[in-house]
């Protein structure tokens, strides 16, 4: 089991209560996003506007506000790919979840994530 469903659901609720959250897009994520939507203008920072728990398989997923609410290509990414601001009210919980999930994924797949 990768996630503790109760803890993931609790964190999802806490994050929803703190929206919008600010997150940085690491270069690797920006590269993946540009391959999906060539020519997109991607900021270094963006707002997380929605949070979903997609279960064991997908974990906590974030909708990013890039291009406004009417964008034709909304981006949904795993929480593990984002870097959150340390001043975020739930930063410690997010960081703990990210570390735990990445560790479990590496163990499950027997390689780097």
d(CA 83, CA 72): 24
Minimal CA–CA distance to 105: which of 83, 75, 81, 84?
81
Query: Domain coordinates of the chain in residue numbers?
Result: 5-104
Say how many Å lie between the first and final Cα of the chain, rounded: 16
Can you give the pTM of this predicted structure? 0.87
Q: What is the pLDDT along the chain (113 residues), one digit of tens a residue?
A: 889 999 999 999 999 999 999 999 999 999 999 999 898 889 999 999 999 999 988 999 999 998 777 777 789 999 999 999 999 999 999 999 999 999 998 888 775 54
Residue 41: name the closest of 22, 66, 64 by CA: 66
* Beta strands at 60-65 and 45-53: parallel, antiparallel or unpaired: antiparallel
């Amino acid at each position: 089991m990768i996630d503790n469903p109760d803890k993931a659901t609790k964190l999802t609720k806490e994050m929803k209560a703190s929206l919008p959250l600010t997150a940085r897009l690491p270069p690797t994520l920006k590269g993946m996003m540009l391959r999906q939507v060539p020519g997109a203008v991607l900021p270094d920072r963006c707002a997380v506007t929605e949070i979903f728990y997609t279960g064991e398989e997908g974990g906590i997923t974030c909708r990013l506000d890039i291009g406004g609410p009417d964008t034709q290509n909304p981006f949904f990414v795993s929480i593990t790919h984002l870097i959150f601001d340390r001043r975020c009210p739930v930063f410690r919980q997010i960081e703990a979840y990210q570390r735990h999930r990445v560790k479990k994924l590496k163990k499950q797949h027997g390689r780097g994530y």
